[in-house]
Amino acid sequence: MAILKILHYGDERLRQKCREVSKVSKKIKTLAQDMIDTMYVNNGVGLAAPQVGEDLRMFVIDVSTDDEPLNPIVFINPKIIKKSGAIKSNEGCLSFPKAYVDVRRYKNIMIKALDLKGRPFVLEAKDGELLARAIQHEYDHLDGILFIDHSRNMFEAIEVLKNNNLPELERERLIDEPELEDEILKQESENKE
Ligand code: NI
């Protein structure tokens, strides 16, 4: 077991597009286990390989609560194959200590990936639950996309980064998501009625 160093926002390695894992080798299995241990030590629900400086398409997630048994899931070479709905959620990231902002996510997703034995599996996460959001968050990391790029409110993101002594928001990286935003606004106005 090894606890790995987590890169923080501002490190360019968090912005790289990662490469596919060519073989689920012993080295990959060790890395996955070290990532799981590192995630637990830092009280995270997910961790992607680029966050520990590994340029590989893999991440780990565990959304179990304190009174449930541990349930780490390893995703290797994942692909999101279906997405629908929209939800606003308050997110953080182990690469952004103490910084949380509201982001837009799909509510339902389906993902396929390889497990630690190199076997393909498909997983569906619905209703905007934590698993669905965590998968989208970690998946983004593999393409160098960070949760603040999905910020609903640019000014909030600027302020949060500043208050936590993190580098400035890279405004040019903000992702325009009109379909998600329209759906969220629709839900919010329905809730008010
Ligand atoms: Ni993250």
Percent of all residues in the chain with a pLDDT value above 70, rounded to a whole number: 100
Going by pLDDT thresholds of 50, 70 and 90, the confidence category of residue 128 is confident
Question: CA-CA distance, 174 to 144, in Å (whole number)?
Answer: 12
What's the pLDDT at 75? 98
Going by pLDDT thresholds of 50, 70 and 90, the confidence category of residue 192 is confident
Going by pLDDT thresholds of 50, 70 and 90, the confidence category of residue 23 is very high
User: How far, in Å, from the CA of 106 to the mean position of ligand 1?
Assistant: 16
Give CB contacts under 8 A, 24+ apart, made by 41-47: 41/3, 42/6, 42/94, 44/94, 45/130, 45/134, 46/134, 46/135, 46/137, 46/138, 47/6, 47/94, 47/138
What's the pLDDT at 191? 86
Around ion ligand 1, residues with a beta carbon closer than 5 Å are: 93
Structure tokens at 32: 């996955």
Is residue 193's pLDDT more than 90? no
Active-site residue set: 138
Domains recognised in the chain with CATH numbers: 12-192 (3.90.45.10)
3-state secondary structure of 144: coil
Is residue 56's pLDDT more than 80? yes
Phi, psi of 52 (to 5 degrees): -110, 20
